[in-house]
Amino acid sequence: MYANIALSMLGSMPTAIEGTSRLIVDIAMFFGLLVIVAMALNFQYGNAGIPNMGCAVQVIIGAFTISAIVMRIMFTVAAQTGVPLDNWNNDFKWIYSNPANVGLMNEFLKSQAVLSMGFLLLSIGLAMILGAGIGYLLALPAIRLRATYLMIVLITVADASQIIGRNVTQISGGTLGVWIPDVFAWYPGDRGVITAVITLFIGLVSFFIFRTMLNSPYGRLMRALRENEVTIGSVGKNVVGIRRNILMFASGITAIAGVMNCYYLLYSNENGYQRAYWTYWPWLMLILGGPGNNAGTFLGAALIIALRRIIIVYKFTIQQFFFFPISYLEDIILGGLLVVVMIFRPNGLIPEKLLYIPGINYAKMVQEEVKVDWRAAPKARQKAAEDKAKKEAKK
C-alpha cells in the first residue's frame, strides 16, 4: 500500500524534468497562480479599499471544490463508462483506495481529451460559484462595520477552514490528503508546461476583465468608495451592497487559483493552504508593486515569486550558512520586507495612475491639486488645533 503511494508520488512530481528550464516553468506556474490572487486583491484593496485578509479561504474553497465535489463527479462518470474503480464511498475507502483510483482515472483520461477539458471547465465554474458564495457569507458579519473588523473575521475564518479541512476526511482527505486525477493526461508533452500556459491564460483573461471593469463607471465608483464612503452613501449608492458585490466577484476569481494549484500539484491537502502563504505573500506583492495599479501587481508578483522559488530550489546550498530551517528565513524576509516597503515606499514601486475616462482629460483637471506633505501633516494639524484652542480662549 505505502509503496504504491510512494510510487504514484514520484511519478506525478513536477520535478521529473531537471534543470533551469524546469525552474522557469515552475516560476511561470506560480507567477500565474499568485498573480491571479494578487490581482483580485488589488481589485478589492487597491481600488475599492476592502482589506481582504482571507485570500487563503477563497483559494482553499477552490481546492476543496476539486477534492470534494469534482473528483466524485469524475469517479462517477468513469465508473459508468466501465472503469473498474474501487469503492470510494466511506471515510476509510475515500483515502486509502484513492491512489489506485486516481491511477485508473489517469489511464482513462489519457484517451479522453474533450472530457478532461470539460472537467477542467466544470471545476473552474463550480469553484467560481462556490467562491462567490463564500464571499457572500464572509461579508455577512463585518462588511457594514469598520475595515479592521472585516480583517479580524477573515483571518479567523482562514484558520477555521483549515481546521475543518483537517478533521473532515471526506472533504480533502484529512491530514493525509488526496491525489487528484490529471486532466492534462492527454497532452503528449510536459504537463507542467501546459498547466502553466493555461494558468497564465486565465490570469491574462482576468487581467482584461479587471481592467475593463476599472475603466468603466463602476471602476470610478469603486475608487470613490475607497476615498470617501460617506459621500458615496449620500449620493444614493448602496455602499454595503457595492462592497459585497466586489468581495463576491473577487472571491470567485481567487478560487480559480486554488483549482489550478490542485491540478498542478495533483494533490490536495489543507496544509498547503496556510494563510501565511496564500494571504500574506500576495499582500506583500501588492504593497511592493503599488496598490491600485495592475502593472505594479505584476512587477511585485514577478519579483517575489522569483525570490521565493530561488530560495526553495537552492535550499540546500543556502541552508549551509544558517543553523535554523530556511522557512524561518523566508518568514523574516516576508515580515521585514513588508515593513520596510511600507515605511520607505508607501506608494510601491509603481505609483497609482489615474483612471481612463473617454472624452475627458482627467490628468489636466487634477494637475492643480494641492500637494499634501504627509510627514508634516501631524504638525500642521497640531498647529491648527492650537490655533483653534487659542481662538476659543479669546472668546
Partner 1 sequence: MEVPTIWLMAITYASELTLLCIGFTLTYLTAKIPNFAHGTYAGFGIYVSYTFAKFFHISPYMGFPLAFLIGGLISLAVFKLVFGTLAKMGSGAIVLTIATLAIQIFLGAILNIYAYSFVAFFGQYATGFLLKEWDFVVAGSIAGIFFVAIGISIAVVLVLHYLLTRTKLGIAMRATAEDPELASVLGININNIQLFSWFVTGGLACLAGAMIPMWFMSSPTTGSGIITSIMAGSLLGGFENVYGAIVGGFTIGISEIMFTLAGQLTLGTWFGEYRPLVPMTFLIIVLLIEPRGLQGFYERYKASRTKPKAAEAAPAAPTEKEEKK
Residues of the shown chain interacting with partner 1 in the complex, contacts defined by CB under 8 A: 45, 49, 51, 53, 140-142, 145-149, 151-153, 155-157, 159-160, 163, 166-167, 276, 280, 283, 287, 323-325, 328-329, 331-332, 334-336, 338-339, 342-343, 346, 374-375, 377-378, 381-382, 385-386, 389
Vertex 220, ends 215 and 224: CA angle to 5°? 155
- With residues binned 3-state (H G I as helix, E B as strand, rest as coil), the percentages for the chain, rounded to 5, are 75, 0, 25
Judged by beta carbon, residue 11 or residue 346, the one nearer partner 1 is: 346
Map residue 114 onto helix, strand or coil.
Answer: helix
Residue 267 pairs in a beta bridge with 179
Give the DSSP letter of residue 173: -
Judged by beta carbon, residue 110 or residue 166, the one nearer partner 1 is: 166
Vertex 240, ends 205 and 287: CA angle to 5°? 50
Judged by beta carbon, residue 107 or residue 331, the one nearer partner 1 is: 331
> Which amino acid is located at 306 in the chain?
A
Residue 178 pairs in a beta bridge with 268
Judged by beta carbon, residue 138 or residue 266, the one nearer partner 1 is: 138
Least distance from partner 1 to the Cβ atom of residue 158, Å = 10
Least distance from partner 1 to the Cβ atom of residue 160, Å = 5
> Which amino acid is located at 292 in the chain?
G
Least distance from partner 1 to the Cβ atom of residue 187, Å = 38
Least distance from partner 1 to the Cβ atom of residue 92, Å = 15
Least distance from partner 1 to the Cβ atom of residue 93, Å = 19
Least distance from partner 1 to the Cβ atom of residue 242, Å = 18
Compute the Cα dihedral for 210, 52, 300, 341 and give only its sign: positive
Least distance from partner 1 to the Cβ atom of residue 69, Å = 23
Q: Are 142 and 62 within 8 A, CB to CB?
A: no
Instruction: Locate 236 and state its grid cell.
Output: 444614493
> Which amino acid is located at 284 in the chain?
L
> Which amino acid is located at 275 in the chain?
R
Please give the span between the terminal C-alpha atoms of the chain, in angstroms, as a whole number: 88
Judged by beta carbon, residue 318 or residue 338, the one nearer partner 1 is: 338
Judged by beta carbon, residue 8 or residue 52, the one nearer partner 1 is: 52
**CA 280 – CA 151 distance, rounded (Å):** 12
Judged by beta carbon, residue 52 or residue 123, the one nearer partner 1 is: 52
